[in-house]
Structure 1
Amino acid sequence: MAATVAGVAIVSALFTFVPWLHAHGLYLRDAVRADGEWWRVVTAMWVHLGWKHWLTDVASCSGLLLLIAREARPRELLAVLTICGVATQVAMLQMPSIGWYGGLSGALHGVALWGGLRLLQAAGLSRVIGVAMCVAVLVKVWAEQSWLAAIVFDPSWGFGVVRAAHAAGAVAGLACWVLQEWWSNRRR
């Protein structure tokens, strides 16, 4: 699991602190839609808007991965993280008010909900943690009310927090869990 956490930290650090990668990795709606720069849908989750943003997302990702590690393999966790990140960017394409985006927060909301649902299927303390994770994600997404304002400026960050990314990521995480359950039940 340490290698997975290190990999996430290194890839996101490269896209955050290497100027060329940052400039060409950030989600820019016009660049994707008008100029055909579709790779930005995949790379935007790795780009952060400064060291504080990067550190917060890497720490959150590390914590989530460690909480879920007993119930999921690292490859599975990375797959869900990537799927939720790409799904978040695809959702952004449908929202004209979001001109640019970077960060793992959308994907992390998806991993948190997916992981919480996975932990619900375990026993003991894992199940309690799963309930807490699911409730926390659902309450947070509901409280943010991204359907009323997709972006809200947060002075403590110094930029607009794209709350719609959190909701889109959570929906993607739920979809990953549902598809995974369907696939495993189909194989029985």
Structure 2
Amino acid sequence: MTYFNKIKNQYRHYWFPVVLIVFFALLQWVGKDSLRYQNDLLSSHQWWRVLSAHWVHLNWLHWLLNSAGFLLLVALLELKWSARYWLLIISLQSLSISLGFLLFNPNLIWYVGFSGVLYGLYIFAAITRFKKDRFIASAILLLVLVKVVIEQWFGDSASSAALLGAPVVVDAHAYGVLCGGLMGTFIQFKKMKNYEKNK
């Protein structure tokens, strides 16, 4: 195997996450106002916002931080999911967080950002990869859960709001973690059922 092929095989699972990151960057040029979650506009049948809100960002720094977190997740757990699988999980996460806003945050005026989905992806990936990467998966679960509990208890930090230029909607992180946890547990339960059936 040539050196080029070794590099290609080592990094090929990054291609779709990178495509998504570039896609999110392109959406910044479209304009977040037409894509963000906005409670009053959902009643006008602008339902695309329940998905697209999670793919646009406040500014380029916001996009950069979420992009770095996304690539870090892929690297830590060596995720080799198909493009279809990525789209399914991200779409379900996006819809679930927006549903959480509709049900429990009726006074939320608007929202943008991938961080809620990202929190959910970390939890989902850690649960589904737990047997293969116990140490890393355990560390991820602990750190993310502790951070969400702190956010729910104390609220958004002033430094985060100052850095991004707007308050962080910490409930998005909580909804993402809840959705990621339920989805990951479901997948693991399904794997166990299939294993028992094939024994």
TM-score band, normalised by shorter chain: 0.7 to 0.9
Cross-structure match for 1:8: 20
- 1:65 aligns with 74
- Which residue number corresponds to residue 90 of structure 1? 99
Please state how far the C-alpha of 1:152 moved relative to its aligned partner.
Answer: 6.6
Amino acid at match of 2:82: P
Aligned mates of 1:134, 1:77 — CA distance in 2? 20
Q: How far apart are the structure 1 equivalents of 2:101 and 2:87?
A: 21
| CA RMSD across the alignment | 1.9
TM-score w.r.t. the length of structure 2 is 0.82
Once the 2 structures are TM-superposed, how far is the Cα of residue 180 of structure 1 from its aligned partner? 1.2
Structure-2 residue corresponding to 1:139: 146
- Give the 3-state SS of the residue equivalent to 1:160 in structure 2: coil
Choose the corresponding residue for 2:165, options 158, 167, 172.
158
Q: Which has the higher helix share?
A: 2
When the two structures are aligned, how many residues end up with a matched partner? 179
Match of 1:29 in 2: 39
Does residue 1:115 correspond to 2:122, yes or no?
Answer: no
- Tell me, which stretches of 5 or more residues in structure 1 are unaligned? none
Query: TM-score under structure 1 normalisation?
Result: 0.86
Q: Distance in 2 between matches of 1:14 and 1:61?
A: 17
Query: Segments of 4+ in structure 1 off by > 6 A?
Result: none
> What is the match of residue 104 of structure 1?
114
Structure 2 counterpart of 1:173, from 160, 167, 180: 180
Give the Å deviation of 1:119: 2.8
- AA paired with 2:145? L
Residue ranges of structure 2 left out of the alignment (5+ in a row): 1-12
Q: CA deviation at 1:97?
A: 2.7
CA distance in 2, matches of 1:67, 1:82: 22
Change (3 A) 1:182 1:114: same
Equivalent of 2:82, from 74, 89, 92? Answer: 74
8 Å CA contact retained: 1:116, 1:133: yes
Q: Tell which structure's C-alpha radius of gyration is larger.
A: 2
